[in-house]
Amino acid sequence: MRNPILFSLVLTLAGVAYAGTGKTTATPTFNRDVAPILYQNCSNCHRPGEVAPFALLTYDDAAKRAKQIAAITQARVMPPWKATPGYGEFLDERRLTEQQISTIRDWAMHGAPEGNPKEKPAPPTFTAGWMAGQPDQVIEMTNPYSVPAEGPDQFRCFVVPMNATEDEYVKTVEFRPGNAKIVHHAILFLDSSGEARKKETVPGQGYDCVGGPGLDISGALGGWAPGSEPATARPGIASTIKKGSDLVLQIHYHLDGKPEQDQSRLGLKFSKEPPTKGLTLYVLGNQKIDIPAGDSHYVVKSSGILPMDVEAIAVFPHAHYLAKDMKVDAHLPDGTLVPLIWIQDWDFNWQGAYRYASPVKLPKGTRLEMQYTYDNSAANPHNPSNPPQEVKFGEQTTNEMAFAFVSVTLDSPAQVPEFRAGTRAEFIATMLENGVDEEALGPERAGQLKLLLNAFDKNHNGKIDPEERQAVVDFLIKRAQQQQQHAAEQPHQ
Ligand code: HEC
């Protein structure tokens, strides 16, 4: 080793590595050991004006709660991160290592010493403006919205015109809560039908919406929860905002004991070039939910087959308060199981989109499966009803839902209609495999499906068998293509 500086650096590093792995009896101190962990993993939410109820910046902030911090990090309640490790790899994962957890525990057990002031790291600095840089367009709630000091949480949908005079391609989406003390999470929907505007009876004041905006959305721009980083799409990918669309901003407000106001904003950066890849949502879901009062283990399943090759880029699991365990898997045609997400302690308050660290390739014929388990017993602390009530599918807090929205990309934007038609055809074929459930579907829809069944159920056993399936799918795709062609030939209004 000829370079003396390098030599001593290597020695120092070796020393550090040794101290880290060897059994040291030195008690961790705030300044040397704990502050770096808190600054890195906690302070972005635990600081004045943010959603967490207290700051974790100074020694005093942390020392007076040392035992609570030790317990809550040990239980992995904080930092909030719901995805089971090893079950899907995500961007911006918020998890402490076992080492960090035991450092905090040892520090708390030894009376939470402050340590040498010289070893104290500089407190973190936070971006005051837009984290992703100045946006091309800022979309703000048209009026401030007032919430009272106390009361139940509110779920409100605000309809904001986006004023796009032609289709626009969004690369970066950054949501900024107007009042971080009360904004618990937000989901950004798009509506090109004009239906959302009609629901907002007092313009700018929003309308009540728990489960979703209560309309057929035309798109989505992701979600936000405290600690979320702004999302920038990978090369070739962009969300399209159709000309004339409205933003439907669903916000969950958690009241904080004082009357508050909020006027949240969204910053968008556009791409001049249209995307080269198709971007769409694959929706796995089941509306057949009827959970008996007291049932602590009610399982809802759904599955679907991908009609073409896709890459999954994000997953957004959604249910209300009773869901406990939510698992989404992909079964590839060659038999490989690809885990997409597993949440074992669902908390409605910490929902959002989980973006994959790298796109997950799912070939044509992949079967996506979801299995959600609900606890409608009195022992579930999240149960909104006491005593428990029978719970069915619906939009209200006291209803339930079972969805997994998987954002997928396709080789080209032109494939999106084909993908949607294929998804629908596969969905209908799966229904026919199970026989027509007249009660669940209603007479009109059941009647249509029975006509289809009669045409393709060659062996007349009342359902579609695996060897009859492809003919149904092909027929439905062809019919959808004809309908699209027909629509394209109609003169535009
Ligand atoms: C993404 C934002 C966020 C991050 C990151 C975060 N917290 Fe929290 N924390 C909250 C919120 C919000 C609450 C209030 C309770 C709730 O809404 O779940 C909270 C509550 C707490 C509580 C009180 C819990 C109770 O039962 O009253 C403790 C202690 C705590 N956090 C410690 C930490 C520590 C330690 C870290 C870092 C290792 C951390 N938090 C990281 C948002 C965050």
Domain ranges of the chain: 24-119, 137-274, 277-411, 414-493
Atom of ligand 1 nearest to the CA of 184: 12
Q: How many CA atoms lie within 13 A of 335 on its CB side?
A: 0
Measured in angstroms, how far is the CA atom of residue 369 from the centroid of ligand 1? 32
Q: Is the CB of 57 under 6 A from ligand 1?
A: no
Atom of ligand 1 nearest to the CA of 51: 12
pLDDT band at 78 (very low <50, low <70, confident <90, very high): very high
pLDDT band at 463 (very low <50, low <70, confident <90, very high): confident
Q: Provide mean pLDDT across the span 272-285.
A: 91
Measured in angstroms, how far is the CA atom of residue 40 from the centroid of ligand 1? 13
pLDDT of 19 strictly over 80 = no
Residue nearest to atom 42 of ligand 1 (CA): 52
pLDDT of residue 277: 95
pLDDT of residue 2: 39
Q: Is the CB of 53 under 6 A from ligand 1?
A: yes
Lowest mean pLDDT among 141-150, 155-164, 382-391, 458-467: 458-467
Q: Provide mean pLDDT across the span 458-487.
A: 89
Q: How would you label 420-433 residue by residue, b for 16+ Cβ within 10 Å and e otherwise? A: bbbbebbbbbbbbe
Residue nearest to atom 20 of ligand 1 (CA): 52
- 137-274 and 277-411: same fold? yes
0.85 exceeded by the pTM? no
Q: Provide mean pLDDT across the span 8-26.
A: 43
pLDDT of 20 strictly over 80 = no
Q: Is the CB of 72 under 6 A from ligand 1?
A: yes
Q: Under CATH, to which class is 137-274 assigned? A: mainly beta
Q: Provide mean pLDDT across the span 156-161.
A: 95
Q: What is the CATH number of domain 277-411?
A: 2.60.120.230
Residue nearest to atom 15 of ligand 1 (CA): 52
Distance separating alpha carbons of residues 215 and 223, to the nearest angstrom: 18
Question: What six digits make up the tokens of 28?
Answer: 């961790």
Q: Is the CB of 352 under 6 A from ligand 1?
A: no
pLDDT mean across residues, the chain: 89
* Contact indicator for 211, 395 with CB cutoff of 8 Å: yes
What H or E segment, with its residue span, contains residue 453? helix 443-456
Residue 454 burial by Cβ neighbours in a 10 Å radius (0-12, 13-18, 19+): exposed
**Cis upstream peptide for 274 (omega within 30°):** no
Mean pLDDT is highest, among 59-73, 207-221, 248-262, 414-428, for: 59-73
Lowest mean pLDDT among 63-72, 181-190, 376-385: 181-190
Probe target for ligand 1 pocket from 37, 46, 153, 185, with the most ligand atoms within 8 Å of CB: 46
Q: Which residue has the tokens 């249509």?
A: 448
pLDDT of 9 strictly over 70 = no
pLDDT of 214 strictly over 60 = yes
Question: What percentage of the chain exceeds 70 in pLDDT?
Answer: 94
CA 379 to the chain's CA centroid: 26
Residue nearest to atom 43 of ligand 1 (CA): 45
Question: What percentage of the chain exceeds 90 in pLDDT?
Answer: 63
pLDDT of residue 25: 61
Measured in angstroms, how far is the CA atom of residue 53 from the centroid of ligand 1? 8
